[in-house]
Amino acid sequence: MNNQTTAFIAIVGRPNVGKSSLLNKMLGQKIAIVSDKPQTTRTRIMGVLNRDEAQVVYIDTPGFHKPRNTLGNNMMRAVQSGLSDVDAVTLVIEASPKFKVDAENLPKAELELIAEIKKRKLHAVLAINKIDLLKDKHELFDIILAYTKQYDFDAVVPISALTGDGVTALIDEQLKFVKPSPHFFPDDVVTDQPERTMVAEMIREKLLQLLDKEVPHGIAVDLERFYERDNANGEPILEVEAIIYCERESHKGIVIGKGGNVLKKVGSSARLDIEEFFGCQADVKLWVKVKEDWRNRGGIIHTFGLD
């Protein structure tokens, strides 16, 4: 008990660099949704890792970007609050071949994040993600050089959140930041997200994966009902009823799809995730409604728990 140590570590970076994928990989369990669309994560998400006497509490944050609506402003506040009161930061960048490093011209969002880290005098590890996409590993040298010019990182670790390459080495670096302190979470807790939020997010993930352009960004999922009952054989079954909100009448038809095919796909793949996570059968019913311009309406944003 009295040997317990703890570290709070924020995971920050541009949208889509793989922060949530990394969190899931480090925990060995999927708790944060992932998609190929930027701005997938909308709130701060805590993930808890226990290693012997050490507990690391990760804070996954929305991708750092210039906000264009009230929701975006809230997301950037979530990044700021993710950076306060942590022991260290993991700055995630991507070593994508489409992103040629120009030491004098790093992405503005990353420079702003580094400025925040400097201002707060935080310990920081640089995680260079997606190295599985690099054909020539020598390119890493330029990347490391360009970023270490900007900040005195405690460590630089090339990783792939997809294959798991380098992830253990990254955890080892982060474990160096623990301090003597009782654990903040019981050892069987993996995340601070309520079950209802997890379920709504699993549904939103499928929509992000299936839809394109502006439509997925204007979507919110609100769980109407979520309860367990016994089926005819006396086995537990989770009943999930959710409303998918979109921003425009024209988006509604896209979300439903021809003959309801999109909605059916969303429901069945979300059901599989829910069943796996809760370890029992689930039944998912979905409805689609329109709330014009909700991403600029504070009251609605609040109802969706996004403030």
Ligand X SMILES: Nc1nc2c(ncn2[C@@H]2O[C@H](COP(=O)(O)OP(=O)(O)OP(=O)(O)O)[C@@H](O)[C@H]2O)c(=O)[nH]1
Q: Which residues make up the interface to ligand X (CB under 6 A)?
A: 13, 15-21, 34-36, 38-41, 62-63, 129-130, 132-133, 160-162
Minimum CB separation from ligand X for residue 171, in Å? 15
Q: Would you count residue 20 as binding Mg ion (CB under 5 A)?
A: yes
Query: In a 10 Å sphere around its CB, with 0-12 CB exposed, 13-18 middle and 19+ buried, how is residue 186 labelled?
Result: exposed
Alpha-carbon gap, residue 7 to 179, rounded angstroms: 6
Closer by beta carbon to ligand X, 169 or else 280: 169
Count the helix, strand and coil residues of the chain and give each as a percent rounded to the nearest 5.
35, 25, 40
Q: Tell me which of Mg ion, ligand X, none is bound by residue 132, counting a contact when its beta carbon lies within the kind-specific cut-off of 5 to 8 angstroms.
A: ligand X
Alpha-carbon gap, residue 166 to 150, rounded angstroms: 23
One character per residue 32-61, x = contact with Mg ion (rule: CB under 5 A): --------xx--------------------
| Pair 268, 282: CB distance under 8 Å | no
Q: Tell me which of Mg ion, ligand X, none is bound by residue 160, counting a contact when its beta carbon lies within the kind-specific cut-off of 5 to 8 angstroms.
A: ligand X
Closer by beta carbon to ligand X, 99 or else 226: 99
State whether the Cα torsion 192-197-199-203 is positive or negative.
Answer: negative
Closer by beta carbon to ligand X, 122 or else 208: 208
Closer by beta carbon to ligand X, 161 or else 211: 161
Q: Tell me which of Mg ion, ligand X, none is bound by residue 218, counting a contact when its beta carbon lies within the kind-specific cut-off of 5 to 8 angstroms.
A: none
State whether the Cα torsion 221-227-228-230 is positive or negative.
Answer: negative
Q: Would you count residue 193 as binding Mg ion (CB under 5 A)?
A: no
Q: What phi-psi label fits residue 121: left (phi over 0), alpha (psi between -120 and 50 degrees) or beta? A: left
Q: Which residues bind Mg ion (CB under 5 A)?
A: 19-20, 40-41
